[in-house]
Structure 1
Amino acid sequence: MYLARVKAGHDRNQYYVVQSQDEKFVYLVNGTTRTCDRPRKKSYKHVQLVKKLPQEVLEAVNKPGLTENAKAAKLIKAYGQYILTRKD
Structure 2
Amino acid sequence: MYQLETFQYGMLAYSKAGHDKGKLYVIIKADHEYVYLVDGILKKIANPKKKKIKHIQIINEIPESIESCINSGKKVTDEDIKRSIKIFLKQ
Alignment of 1:1-88 (within 5 A): 1-53=10-62, 57-59=63-65, 62=68, 68-82=77-91
SS in 1 for 2:21: coil
TM-score under structure 1 length normalisation: 0.78
Q: What residue identity is the alignment partner of 2:57?
A: Q
Listed as ranges, the gaps of 5+ residues in structure 2 are 1-9
TM-score under structure 2 length normalisation: 0.75
SS in 2 for 1:16: strand
- Superposed CA RMSD in Å reads 2.3
Listed as ranges, the gaps of 5+ residues in structure 1 are 83-88
The answer as to whether partners of 1:3 and 1:15 remain within 8 angstroms in 2 is: yes
Offset of residue 52 of structure 1: 2.7
Indicate the percent of aligned positions where both proteins have the same amino acid: 29
The answer as to whether partners of 2:26 and 2:37 remain within 8 angstroms in 1 is: yes
Bigger radius of gyration, 1 or 2? Answer: 1
Aligned residues: 79
Deviations 1:35-76 (A, max 9, x none): 0011000001100011135xxx51587489885101111111
The answer as to whether partners of 1:61 and 1:71 remain within 8 angstroms in 2 is: no
Q: 1:46 to 1:60 in 2, by over 3 A?
A: closer
Within 2, Cα distance between the matches of 1:80 and 1:8? 19
